[in-house]
Structure 1
Amino acid sequence: MAQLKITLAHSATHRLPKQRKIVESLGLHRINSSVVKPDNEAVRGALFKIAHLVKVEQVK
Structure 2
Amino acid sequence: MSKVKISQVRSTIGRPERQKRTIEALGLGKINRTVEVELTPQIQGMINKVSHLVSVTEV
Same fold (TM over 0.5): yes
| Structure 2 gaps, min length 5 | none
The root-mean-square deviation of aligned C-alpha atoms, in Å, is 0.6
Give a deviation string over 1:2-38, Cα, whole Å, max 9, x none. 1010000000121000000000011102100000110
Q: Return structure 1 stretches of 4+ with deviation > 2 angstroms.
A: none
Q: Equivalents in 2 of 1:55, 1:7: separation in Å?
A: 5
Identity rate, percent:
34
Give 1:4's aligned residue.
4
Supply the distance in 1 between the matched residues of 2:14 and 2:41 (Cα, whole angstroms): 27
* Count of residues in Structure 1 that have an aligned counterpart in Structure 2: 59
Q: Distance in 1 between matches of 2:28 and 2:13?
A: 12
Deviations 1:18-60 (A, max 9, x none): 000000011102100000110110000000000000000000x
5+ residue gaps in structure 1? none
Q: 1:51 is matched with which residue?
A: 51
1:40 corresponds to: 40
